[in-house]
Structure 1
């Protein structure tokens, strides 16, 4: 990819609380009202401080897991993870040269005037900036799309129009066109009350309306053009839009790749070979790859399936671990999609749910190419995946499983990334995520357990930090979890993590490597169940009980080797009100920082500043977008850059590689109980009724965003 094209690519940026009951219903199927899916007996961090893993213990856990969950057969030459090696700090200089910028990483101040918390029904931005809507629900995507008609929606129309509840945002420059780019957006879920006039209940929806909702899920690819060489972008208006594309849950075919493709777990009556899936659902965050594709994470897919009570008994523990109800036909929050497409009824198609929960790869430059679901990267509630090229040329993807008490993962490719713009190099790179090694994280703290009291009080050494190991789960077609085949591990990855004793985290969401430093940052959104009842108490990696504000987790691979198996970690930011003693901002003066709650997505600008979007602000104000330096004297000086309308979530963000634009997806504005499309609680963005939309913000003087 030419340098002038790379300038627009991000530096791999991107992606509890106060959520309303409507959000809980539609976003995740009332997950917080259900038992915690992770019922494993994995020791919490306080039990294993400074302890090495016991091979015998791992083997025993794997055998018990296999027996209880009904995995049959044996695994040839199954191996247990090795004991953790001593871990040394990896200085910035140790990061492979391919990951470092040519220039020295310099700390710099963020110069924008921070935005004050508020509850306004609009987007607020700093002085000296402008913002505009790029696309909203119902806007035309594909050529020939009809004008949006709220009173007469059809699945055929929605399949050509911008979908609902936009989440991940990626912007990829079109080679040879400095002022043209492709916008790729996830459409995570739908709010039927806010979509259909006269709505009374999900049961009362017509089959056509259900199909509209199914079609409103998926992704959109839209060609953009720069406005007068500013930081503003808008959709290209043309009769010929060769790249524009809607990918839907209704009818788009996806190809399964990797070791689990074709396995017995993925075969259905409609697809006896287990190689082709119709649609993608609940696509949350994602990432842009160095070879110009987009990765999209399938997250809360469990809520779309009914009939779990009628599946074979041996399948029920596996479904339950993924949050699928097996005691009732219609669980709380069910979408009733089985009325429109039978495949969502597990009583008739028990393997259909196994075909969701993957990382999806979309090539926006090949509109006729089928999107792919990569089984080698494991199946769980993916927030997203972000890739970095390691020193030896292999690519490494970092991922979080967005559930209370679930795990952090990484995937290391078998093949190496090929540089250059040739057709052969790109064809090769498109196969990188089809084979490799999948790991899960186990962390230990370096402070006495007695010093971690659940309040967020810093231990005696002045910081929450420690060591960690990456436990190998599967490599190629070889399982490293006794009692589970490679297909078992990849299809039921949560169970493999349980078996090897992975560390339970506080909802690990977006996980993002910095190309300036090689460090990795993960958003731990919140976990109000931490330390409540019989749930695992606070530990050094998750240091607050009833953690309603979340924290940022920083990971440094040992010796800068992203393909290695050991690392150091720390918590630079404990979110919340800076006036609260339980908060921490990397030691920065807390009187100067903005309050922040429930971090969700993270991204970087070219200066290496960390950008954080929030979801479910538990401080009583709107969600927003924040930025902070992560190196130098300004490390921890967090400032709020914008806020979204009340009830909305801030998704994305995406800072273009030239730092002139930041894109944000405003998801579910005024998603508040009692609101309907007839009686909206918001009129953003057009003054009539609430519509999810993607916005772009830029500096009026043409300078770089933030600094």
Structure 2
């Protein structure tokens, strides 16, 4: 990988103005440079102090510290085990998706929603001699799942802190009751359940148009088996409200059950809610839900009902078609004597035929239904983001070494006529990981308001500093500037401590603060040491945490 040199703001603006490095905004107006200085200056308004102010990109590093460019500082808001409120609730394990909800419109005080994505047992991974978890281990494991809602503020010195006396701070765990909504509620597919226990492995999330949060349950299999939970009750997208405890936690079965990765929400041209979804596992597909009803801003939280009924699709990337997942189509395909089970399913045709009896079965086994109907399995489509100007969908395909996809890539989905409710789309590769692009294994993605794409890498902890990913050293956070033209390298903004990786990057409304999760490797994984990061008094082991990064000003 070619050496990156620190660059000045003037050089950086010129770099963007020539479209040398990245990815996206030529269709948006932001990318229409036309040889003028206007567009570059607009990206870095000194009046707005946007997060995209110039910074000196850092070099790849392999040590136990969280590294940032000169002039930036990370404030640890909460780490695993920290008390978050007077009740004594503690911050969960495996920090991931974040979202800041201002209090009274403030950019420096609000509630921070943080998901917990551990698909192991956190520090409680010891087992009895018979190989099973003890009751105490099960209790600890489930208590660490879900989400933490913490209250945070920036003090007079500019440091971000958590208010541990907040009455608004709370936990959502593997023990809270969740209502099932939609077609699978009460069905045989979920063994008649209308209410289920808790949530697990909540890596991804998205803020809804009405101010709630949708969270995707990811690789739930190991947790479900080891804790004795009903597997059909997990793998859904659930909805919660950051500030309203009375809002009933609910899992929306109409959006399908699979190993969820990222999600993104928008509206179709006729006002229907569209939720794009990806998977966190190999061979997963890209999905789209389109509500039956239409969105009304005046309805507020009542818009949650729109997620209880609609159509679920999966993408055929070769044909550029959205395939509706229906029981009629699945049964028709399985009844065809020429049908052969696609290899990713690894199941007998007879088993699949017995599995699908009604529409609830299609939703409960959405991945199987999608592959049966010809949707395209991909290499972990874990990160999703909508471009803020043209609305096109970006999906990160993290990697799949056995397919020869070592460094991953990002693709772009452009709906027909620019309508998210369309039944067809164009598809292309927007950026490929590797030495020429300056990043590897992209996972979580987000755009800032200027159309610059931020992505966090997820190179396997036990492969760091080895083989063809060795040049990238530790995992990082990268900026791909707003330009459609390809070439050049991504700009590395942060380097993760040791074998950790970043996730859930999000911005405060004024884009002067970046919130970022630091996911430490799971216990027992063979990986480079992270020392005792975050290295606070009393820290004796590396801890997953969430940080606020400041320094985004002229």
Question: Secondary structure of 1:385's partner?
Answer: strand
Match of 1:507 among 375, 380, 405: 380
Query: What is the aligned-residue RMSD (CA, Å)?
Result: 2.9
Is it true that 1:653 corresponds to 2:517 in the alignment?
Answer: no
Q: Is the 8 A contact 2:407 2:440 kept in 1?
A: yes
Alpha carbons of 1:638 and 1:573: their partners in 2 closer, same or farther (altered >3 Å)? same
Q: Is the 8 A contact 1:193 1:199 kept in 2?
A: no
Match of 1:244 among 143, 163, 169: 169
Match of 1:494 among 349, 367, 390: 367
Distance (Å, rounded) in 2 between the aligned partners of 1:218 and 1:367? 15
Q: Is the 8 A contact 1:218 1:280 kept in 2?
A: yes
The equivalent of 1:357 in structure 2 is 235
Please report how far the alpha carbon of residue 303 of structure 1 lies from its aligned counterpart in structure 2 after TM superposition. 1.2
Q: What are the superposed Cα offsets for residues 385-437 of structure 1, whole Å, 9 maximum, x if unpaired?
A: 211123322221111122222211111112222224xxxx1132222211111
Is it true that 1:433 corresponds to 2:307 in the alignment?
Answer: yes
The equivalent of 1:292 in structure 2 is 211
Distance (Å, rounded) in 2 between the aligned partners of 1:647 and 1:512? 26
The equivalent of 1:402 in structure 2 is 280
Distance (Å, rounded) in 2 between the aligned partners of 1:106 and 1:510? 29
- Residues 208-217 or 517-526, more deviating: 208-217
The equivalent of 1:69 in structure 2 is none
Question: Secondary structure of 1:384's partner?
Answer: strand
* TM-score normalised according to structure 2 size: 0.80
Match of 2:185 among 261, 281, 286: 261
Please report how far the alpha carbon of residue 696 of structure 1 lies from its aligned counterpart in structure 2 after TM superposition. 1.2
Distance (Å, rounded) in 2 between the aligned partners of 1:614 and 1:228? 33
Please report how far the alpha carbon of residue 548 of structure 1 lies from its aligned counterpart in structure 2 after TM superposition. 1.3
Distance (Å, rounded) in 2 between the aligned partners of 1:410 and 1:237? 39
Please report how far the alpha carbon of residue 515 of structure 1 lies from its aligned counterpart in structure 2 after TM superposition. 2.2
Please report how far the alpha carbon of residue 480 of structure 1 lies from its aligned counterpart in structure 2 after TM superposition. 4.5
Distance (Å, rounded) in 2 between the aligned partners of 1:525 and 1:133? 27
Structure 1: segments with no counterpart, 5+ residues = 1-89, 95-102, 146-159, 268-272, 307-335, 339-343, 345-351, 445-466, 531-545, 579-584, 586-594
The equivalent of 1:627 in structure 2 is 479
Number of equivalences: 478
Q: What are the superposed Cα offsets for residues 580-630 of structure 1, whole Å, 9 maximum, x if unpaired?
A: xxxxx5xxxxxxxxx211111000111111110111265231111111124
Q: What are the superposed Cα offsets for residues 465-511 of structure 1, whole Å, 9 maximum, x if unpaired?
A: xx61111114xxx8553355221211111121122111121111111
Q: How does 1:568-583 map to 2 (within 5 A)?
A: 568-578=426-436
Please report how far the alpha carbon of residue 115 of structure 1 lies from its aligned counterpart in structure 2 after TM superposition. 1.2
Distance (Å, rounded) in 2 between the aligned partners of 1:643 and 1:185? 21
Distance (Å, rounded) in 1 between the aligned partners of 2:481 and 2:291? 30
Please report how far the alpha carbon of residue 180 of structure 1 lies from its aligned counterpart in structure 2 after TM superposition. 2.4
* TM-score normalised according to structure 1 size: 0.63
The equivalent of 2:520 in structure 1 is 668
Please report how far the alpha carbon of residue 512 of structure 1 lies from its aligned counterpart in structure 2 after TM superposition. 1.4
Alpha carbons of 1:439 and 1:674: their partners in 2 closer, same or farther (altered >3 Å)? closer
Q: Is the 8 A contact 2:63 2:530 kept in 1?
A: no
Q: Is the 8 A contact 1:193 1:675 kept in 2?
A: no
Decide which structure has greater strand share: 2
Q: Is the 8 A contact 1:442 1:468 kept in 2?
A: yes
Q: Is the 8 A contact 1:387 1:398 kept in 2?
A: yes
- Residues 430-439 or 549-558, more deviating: 430-439
Please report how far the alpha carbon of residue 551 of structure 1 lies from its aligned counterpart in structure 2 after TM superposition. 0.4
Is it true that 1:169 corresponds to 2:47 in the alignment?
Answer: no
Match of 1:380 among 249, 258, 261: 258
Q: Higher RCO, 1 or 2 (CA under 8 Å, sep at least 6)?
A: 1
Question: Secondary structure of 1:291's partner?
Answer: coil
Structure 2: segments with no counterpart, 5+ residues = 1-24, 30-37, 45-51, 333-355
Q: Is the 8 A contact 1:194 1:690 kept in 2?
A: no
Q: Is the 8 A contact 2:96 2:114 kept in 1?
A: yes
